Structure 1
Amino acid sequence: MTVPLGGIPLADHAAVYAALDRAGFTDVWSAEVNGADAFTPLALAAAWQPRLRLGTAITPAFTRGPGLLAMSAAALADAAPGRFALGIGASSPVVVGDWNAVPYTEPFRRTRDVLRFLRAALAGETVDGAYDTFTVRRFTLERPPATPPPVLLAALRPGMLRLAAAEADGVILNWLAADDVPRALGATGQRRPGFEVVARIFVCPTEDAAHARALGRRLITSYLTVPAYAEFHRWLGREEVFGPMWRAWAAGDRRGAGAAVPDEVVDALVLHGSPERCRDQVARYADAGVDVPVLALLPTPELAAGGAAALADLIGRLGPARVAAHGGWES
């Protein structure tokens, strides 16, 4: 499950984490955009639910200095030995440049360099030298983790997918349909033993299809008009499907952009229906090669009306029926 859950204060997440554990969820993965940072929700989970595995999906490669990013990862790995995975990625010009006042330049090379730095630093090595996009002088973690966390790379198109396969411990996918997974994984080549595939999957567990599709269209027009995601979906073969949306958005016609997204595309990218139906749709990602399907829970009319009791019931109904010890799914 993606944490924290919207609308619930972090201080009240102890009950959320307990409910996730009871329902059979094995992992909680955080995101970092403009809400909570990636590490605080996981630090709380480490203290409150010592069986849950923790992951960041993702921490931007630009917004912390290399040393601070290594320190944050090492501290969480120390708090949850063997239960933490660090996911990093390029993020976007808005998050990096507009909100954090950091130049968003050479995102592929910056992410590659941060990945290489982290692999060395988290192993306890002294890092001293120049990468293509930054220079580090004699940095050594004071307390390197006894179990260095795996480092996963968020990737969309072939270049980053190949980098993940060559140098990271896994890949994090986002904003793709279950039918898109084989194409994405095909670009990584043959997977090494232990290479982990994580995918964030948007889930709106309601049988109010109009609500789910309206919300899905807002998300799709917000995210898939960003250049990196637009190029990703062109690569996936959706130029014809999304072309009208992209043209309307570029012309400033936000309403027209949303109206141009067909229902079947919304349904493929934002899962909806009863919790049991959503769970079955998530299983299709696992069948396509995803090791850790990470749900991103979207608001529904039922949750708005039912409060904490409705959330607890929903978590139980979404709970993985076939989940194995570390997030992989059994047949």
Structure 2
Amino acid sequence: MKRWGITIPFSDRMIAESGDLVGELAGLGYTDAWTAEVSGTDGFLPLALAAGWSPDLRLGTAIVPVSTRGPGLLAMSAATMADVAPGRFVLGIGASSPVIVERWNAGTFTAPYGRTRDTLRFLRAALTGEKVTERYETFAVSGFRLDRAPKVAPRIMLAALRPRMLHLAAEEADGAITNWLSPEDVRKVRAEIGPGTELAARLFVCVSEDADRVREIGRRMLAAYLTVPAYAAFHEWLGRGETLRPMREAWHAGDRRAALKAIPDEVVDELIVHGDAATCRARVGEYVAAGLTTPILAPIAVGEVSVPEAVRALAPAAS
């Protein structure tokens, strides 16, 4: 099945104001709606609302962190969502970052690979209704059992940027979720997980022919992400280490203006989809041709094209 996803909530409105537009998505050709969990909405509640607004969409988290909830609470949240949308909920989990886990949620960001692996293994057991007593490498659980295990356990996908986590996603999870990459980068990621593993990625899309304005916005977005250690290492692996070194050095020196200026136009153009709607749809098609199973579009309003207009113009039915 060809998948074409969208990010909710939409960037220009609260989730409570999104019912009509979410209700249009399946008719426009979208197959999926995915959330994120950073500092806006949580990952689950928008999907619970969307389940009622659109009974045909697959619904997923991309992603919820494994270290901002306890294992049992994460299992309860996933089980509740799986009960709300049986057979069409995908739980995407990942390590997240020190800022989100420690600075914003008073957690501990240690052993990100191990914590993600252990949480995956715990959830696999817990979501079947099994009673779990297990000492994992990064935490222990004693006597946990869901009172309401879902009739259909959700598929579980992992946020993965480099080979070790990508291999875990391919070997033990139901797919990999990645971010901030070009179509050519998709080929390198796909080579690590093989042809049969679902690969999803959030693609930031600006339906605008004002390239200068898009690049201005894009530089701010890229600097915020690509200075995070995990993403810096990801792009080092992808081959952009030297290209992005001046940006990272300026950022860590506290010179934000110089950091933004140091990001080349070609990097913005590689990592952010922009142009008129037809150009954007064609660019997303390049990602799919390179091996991306599930594009998750995240339209960003630029200039005269509103987010609802972009959502409709980017849909498969518009082509």
TM-score of the superposed pair, with normalisation by structure 2? 0.95
Which residue of 150, 161, 168 maps to 2:166? 161
Which residue of 269, 286, 309 maps to 1:313? 309
Query: Residues 39 and 56 of structure 1 are in contact (CA less than 8 Å); yes or no, is this contact kept in structure 2?
Result: yes
Distance 2:8 2:261 in 1: 30
Structure 1 residue 117: deviation in Å? 0.4
Distance 1:223 1:312 in 2: 26
Distance 2:119 2:104 in 1: 20
- Residue 213 of structure 2 corresponds to 211
Query: Residues 165 and 191 of structure 1 are in contact (CA less than 8 Å); yes or no, is this contact kept in structure 2?
Result: no
Query: Residues 90 and 107 of structure 1 are in contact (CA less than 8 Å); yes or no, is this contact kept in structure 2?
Result: yes
Query: Residues 19 and 315 of structure 1 are in contact (CA less than 8 Å); yes or no, is this contact kept in structure 2?
Result: no
Deviation larger for 60-69 or 3-12: 3-12
- Residue 86 of structure 2 corresponds to 81
- Residue 54 of structure 1 corresponds to 59
Which residue of 270, 273, 298 maps to 1:296? 298
Secondary structure of the residue aligned to 2:38 is: coil
Distance 2:195 2:186 in 1: 14
Distance 1:61 1:322, change over 3 A: farther
Q: Does 1:94 align with 2:99?
A: yes
Structure 1 residue 244: deviation in Å? 1.2
Deviation larger for 277-286 or 9-18: 9-18
Structure 1 residue 46: deviation in Å? 0.4
Distance 1:122 1:322 in 2: 39
Question: Which amino acid is the alignment partner of residue 36 of structure 1?
Answer: T
Question: Which amino acid is the alignment partner of residue 251 of structure 1?
Answer: A
- Residue 20 of structure 2 corresponds to 15
Distance 1:123 1:179 in 2: 38
Question: Which amino acid is the alignment partner of residue 314 of structure 1?
Answer: A
Distance 2:309 2:250 in 1: 40
> Which residues in structure 2 correspond to 1:20-39 (within 5 Å)?
20-39=25-44
Structure 2: stretches of 5+ with no match in the other structure: 1-5
- Residue 40 of structure 1 corresponds to 45
Give the fraction of aligned pairs with identical amino acids, expressed as a percent: 54
Question: Which amino acid is the alignment partner of residue 96 of structure 2?
Answer: S
Distance 1:313 1:215 in 2: 19
- Residue 172 of structure 1 corresponds to 177
Distance 1:314 1:107 in 2: 36
Distance 1:272 1:43, change over 3 A: same
Which residue of 286, 289, 299 maps to 2:288? 286
Structure 1 residue 168: deviation in Å? 0.4
Secondary structure of the residue aligned to 2:90 is: strand
Question: Which amino acid is the alignment partner of residue 261 of structure 1?
Answer: I
Structure 1: stretches of 5+ with no match in the other structure: 304-309, 324-331
Q: Does 1:146 align with 2:151?
A: yes
Secondary structure of the residue aligned to 1:302 is: coil
Cα RMSD over matched residues?
Answer: 1.4
Q: Deviations over 1:81-131 (max 9, x none)?
A: 111000000000000000000011111100100000001111221111211
- Residue 234 of structure 2 corresponds to 232
Distance 1:105 1:171 in 2: 21
Distance 1:7 1:191 in 2: 36
Question: Which amino acid is the alignment partner of residue 242 of structure 2?
Answer: E
Question: Which amino acid is the alignment partner of residue 227 of structure 2?
Answer: T
Distance 1:276 1:191 in 2: 28
Secondary structure of the residue aligned to 1:128 is: strand
Structure 1 residue 68: deviation in Å? 0.7
Query: Residues 31 and 38 of structure 1 are in contact (CA less than 8 Å); yes or no, is this contact kept in structure 2?
Result: yes
Question: Which amino acid is the alignment partner of residue 66 of structure 1?
Answer: P
Query: Residues 152 and 169 of structure 1 are in contact (CA less than 8 Å); yes or no, is this contact kept in structure 2?
Result: yes
- Residue 329 of structure 1 corresponds to none
Secondary structure of the residue aligned to 1:5 is: coil
- Residue 132 of structure 2 corresponds to 127
Distance 1:184 1:321 in 2: 29
Query: Residues 202 and 296 of structure 2 are in contact (CA less than 8 Å); yes or no, is this contact kept in structure 1?
Result: yes
Distance 1:312 1:4 in 2: 12
